[in-house]
Structure 1
């Protein structure tokens, strides 16, 4: 485990504040949010040690958060979701690599907007290429963060990039994309590069059905009713052939539908475990150690709403802090959930930028200065002056 940058070390004083936010989507990355909050706190209480530990839940921004906390950040050229070349990053610490699917195969990697065509043909091949590069760099364990994908190919592209062969009835490779899986006749895994994988995801959807990858997430990727039907058929065929050729059925397992079915491929072909992303990231950051002696934790994300309660980063941070008996304050761009409900999840107080600036567009455009202002208020309200004992 690494020590979070600026983390709690021998010689640090009791009573530090931990700033552990996720990104504010469309505005600031998690490290940028953490830096702004820390600046606001220090403006009011320069005597209080501040530890910045930007976090993520396995989706977009996971690699950036880990690199900000001391992981090595590496880049490589990979295949984008529709065959377009992209430069993607991953993070490493010792023999552990953290791969963020959104870096290689995410919606933001499409050269244009998502369409019905991209929904049918988008591939996870770039994610497989990231894993292969990480293994060549010495990775012996992969944390695979799933979220924000452009693909609904069941992880077929990822497997192909790692050496598996997905063949049609004539022995030809099946083309990229989930719809083409309808032609799948055989899976050859003799040359598949295998590595232990832990899936970081807060999605518990199965592969198929009304809560499956195609029907729930397909519309976000440009799929209409016809495309969803084709993608569902392709994923069903993939599941059928995988069950026949490998003797494993993971169709209904928790997380199989994550990232367009990439979770399914990780479960079946790598024997992966699926865990809430924020729990894994906090373990990687040795967050429990940082909590020792802390007086306050500040977490947050762009929007705190009902989805936040489904295992998103602020709730994960609050659970860890609750176990250490450290109070938690949350910040967000906007807050659309009752504060009493948040208290049930370990968040003692919650603040939103919209309390300072009512125009959401201004909040997005000027989130940095507003966060500093919000942090100054938090420091005044929650960091009463008290003797600080040296360790």
Structure 2
């Protein structure tokens, strides 16, 4: 009796064009043209930033919606996921760049992230997974801590202003008003970067320009974050300035580690666990993953690399479909990738790849299937 081919589809988002869910649907549509009887198992993933809450909801968590402060102080609607006493919160939903009319590199705040954490605590959460990434802020998580009850004071005893620029005036952190429930709450920070808080590879220098920071802004923010780290170590005893990952989401990881005792974990690994990827890979014939650009950054903890590594462990060949493939073919096997294909293989017009990514991705998936999906009954 012929066995049905089982294909796991586990892409990340194609940043700026397709969500992970839309990418998975497009790949599935393309594969069905060629192997209509295949058992297609969709497990869209993320690397700890945007898409983390969606992954938790797919895993069965309940959606909770709340109104919080956006990065410029205006109210925004945000969603977190709740399963028993575990909540999954996404920084981008309260402090992402898409919530701003214009960049605010020195004043954007993470206060709304803290308000999301409070809402999670109110809902009974005692373990909070905070997905970092997609941040408009460079305030070291200061706004988040203020929302949770911390006071960040200048030399005259007044609260410092919002954003990273406000930290330039920081003289003292008062944690006496911190929400007492946090003492019994485990905070897990999911991220895909290992940048420290300050310096040449720190939050301001590397990510500040992406958020609209000028060279002068970058210098101001880097110095302000260094001051922040110094005051935090004096207050909590936790020296986080040079810790790998402390620079994630404009340094929000640093504030979470120093004050909330947060544990840093691989965002991609956490999401793969959330969506049950290992169980889905059992007995699979092929896994298809993907993202916007397959490059060196992919190999440094991005979701497709995590998917490929797990596929290799499970003995399942892994194919990557991407808008762009920037890795040399000889780099792929060591990462557990059997093959990588770019959208331009089926649509040379890059503009169309960007404007109509879903049908182009479906075409690419169909082409790959014609050239190499295992036939039913083979293994």
Tell me the equivalent position of 1:124: 110
After superposition, the C-alpha distances for 1:259-300 in whole angstroms (9 at most, x for unaligned) are 111010111112222122101111122211111111110000
Tell me the equivalent position of 2:225: 235
Tell me the equivalent position of 1:44: 34
Cα distance in structure 1, aligned partners of 2:344 and 2:83: 38
Change (3 A) 1:65 1:285: closer
Choose the corresponding residue for 1:315, options 297, 302, 305: 305
* Equivalent residues of 2:85, 2:126 under 8 A apart: yes
Tell me the equivalent position of 2:54: 64
TM-score w.r.t. length of structure 2: 0.94
Choose the corresponding residue for 2:18, options 17, 24, 28: 28
Moved more, 154-163 or 372-381: 372-381
SS of match in other structure, 2:64: strand
Cα distance in structure 2, aligned partners of 1:250 and 1:307: 24
Cα distance in structure 2, aligned partners of 1:42 and 1:106: 35
SS of match in other structure, 1:204: coil
Cα distance in structure 1, aligned partners of 2:42 and 2:59: 8
Size of the aligned set, in residue pairs, is: 373
SS of match in other structure, 1:21: coil
* Equivalent residues of 1:30, 1:65 under 8 A apart: no
1:152 aligns with 2:138: yes
* Equivalent residues of 2:187, 2:261 under 8 A apart: yes
Cα distance in structure 2, aligned partners of 1:339 and 1:66: 34
Cα distance in structure 2, aligned partners of 1:335 and 1:236: 37
Give the deviation of 1:14 after TM superposition.
6.9
Change (3 A) 1:360 1:65: farther
Pairwise mapping of residues 81-160 of structure 1 onto structure 2 (< 5 A)?
Answer: 81-112=71-102, 114=103, 118-160=104-146
Tell me the equivalent position of 1:372: 362
Pairwise mapping of residues 191-202 of structure 1 onto structure 2 (< 5 A)?
Answer: 191-193=177-179, 194=182, 195-202=185-192
* Equivalent residues of 1:178, 1:231 under 8 A apart: yes
Cα distance in structure 2, aligned partners of 1:353 and 1:203: 26
* Equivalent residues of 1:55, 1:66 under 8 A apart: no
* Equivalent residues of 1:302, 1:334 under 8 A apart: yes
Change (3 A) 1:136 1:388: farther
Tell me the equivalent position of 1:329: 319
Give the deviation of 1:15 after TM superposition.
4.4
TM-score w.r.t. length of structure 1: 0.91
* Equivalent residues of 1:54, 1:66 under 8 A apart: no
Give the deviation of 1:69 after TM superposition.
4.5
Change (3 A) 1:101 1:169: same
* Equivalent residues of 1:119, 1:227 under 8 A apart: yes
Tell me the equivalent position of 2:162: 176
SS of match in other structure, 1:306: coil
Structure 2 portions without partners, runs of 5+? none
